[in-house]
Amino acid sequence: MLVIENLTKRYATGDLALEAVTLSVPAGQVVGLIGPSGAGKSSLIRCVNRLVEPSEGTIKLGDLDLSRLSRGALGQARRRMGMIFQEYALVDRLSVMENVLSGRLGYVGFWRSFFRRFPQADIDRAFAVLERVGLTDHVDKRADALSGGQRQRVGIARALVQEPDLLLVDEPTASLDPKTSRQIMRLIVELCAERNLAAIVNIHDVALAQMFVQRIVGLRKGKVVFDGPPDGLTPEVLTEIYGAEDWTATIRKAEEEDEQAAAAGAPAVLVRDTPLVTA
């Protein structure tokens, strides 16, 4: 379980990105993090893995206090946190397999990683993950020869090959078309259910979040203003998060897509049956 208590981040400029954020994410639950630009969503994710240093508060992953780890200990702790990026963060000149195996760099020595000589167990693990994300036929392709959806699947596979306890996902569908976006979100939710992973997904598309995740946390000006199930996002709540707007079409779109997914038997919707756990 990830437990965040009173997390505050104030940048050197004086800007307050996060203010006393408290939430818990149990194993197996996918949380959609929504809010306007500048609300603190990316800062929250980056504080968890300490790409950004918190100003105050505690962050615990299981029995490990991430907020108090030394730099040396943090490197090992990051093995337990898989990161999936909006712009994929792949090395274009490397193959799909080589990009995925980079997720094992925290487990192998410097020279083995430098010459890309990975243990057979790691290679087997990478093949298994690539099969699960549907990229078996693209193992030897260069990353820059892939479509956007395929590149994001490589990013997912790279995170999974770490065998993490937590996924931190930053705008995984921002550069994708609507159909591919649904496929990627469905894949993330299915994988978290299969592997009992906690996950925080920073996502701008409210309807997409409502369709797939079990729980939504809304941020505004660095504060949590909503924490609850997707159907709790009423027009009044969305106005509190984003400001005044006609939210009827957004909510109707989410309901229609949810009904279509249920009719098609999409397993992503069924994951919502996991009990909601809040701080």
Q: What is the mean pLDDT of the chain?
A: 85
Name which of 150-164, 172-186, 251-265 the model is least confident about: 251-265
Provide mean pLDDT across the span 2-26.
94
Residue 58 has pLDDT above 70, yes or no: yes
pLDDT band of residue 263 (cuts 50, 70, 90) is: low
Query: At which residue do the structure tokens 């409502």 appear?
Result: 210
Q: Distance between CA atoms of 136 and 200, rounded to whole angstroms?
A: 27
Q: Going by C-beta distance under 8 Å and a sequence separation of 6 or more, which residues neighbour residue 61?
A: 1, 2, 77, 80, 81, 165, 166
Q: Going by C-beta distance under 8 Å and a sequence separation of 6 or more, which residues neighbour residue 87?
A: 175
CA nearest neighbour of 266 among 169, 170, 179 = 179
Residue 276 has pLDDT above 70, yes or no: no
Provide mean pLDDT across the span 169-190.
91
Q: Distance between CA atoms of 44 and 173, rounded to whole angstroms?
A: 19
pLDDT value of position 68? 87
Cα 252 → chain centroid? 25
- The DSSP secondary structure of 63-83, one letter per residue, reads TEEGGG--HHHHHHHGGGEEE
Indicate the CATH number for domain 1-62+199-279.
3.40.50.300
Under 8 Å between Cβ of 174 and 140: no
Q: Where are the alpha helices (DSSP H) in the chain?
A: 41-48, 71-77, 96-101, 110-114, 120-132, 148-160, 178-195, 206-212, 235-242, 248-263, 267-270
Provide mean pLDDT across the span 113-138.
85
pLDDT value of position 211? 93
pLDDT value of position 278? 36
Residue 145 has pLDDT above 90, yes or no: yes
Q: Distance between CA atoms of 274 and 31, rounded to whole angstroms?
A: 12
Residue 143 to residues 122, 131, 146, 179, 184, Cα–Cα distance (Å): 20, 17, 6, 21, 17
Residue 200 has pLDDT above 50, yes or no: yes
* Interior angle at CA 85, CA 146 and CA 277, nearest 5: 130
Q: Distance between CA atoms of 140 and 124, rounded to whole angstroms?
A: 15
Under 8 Å between Cβ of 191 and 28: no
pLDDT value of position 226? 96
Under 8 Å between Cβ of 258 and 229: no
Query: At which residue do the structure tokens 């909503």 appear?
Result: 226
Q: Distance between CA atoms of 227 and 216, rounded to whole angstroms?
A: 6
What share of the chain has pLDDT > 70, as a percent?
85
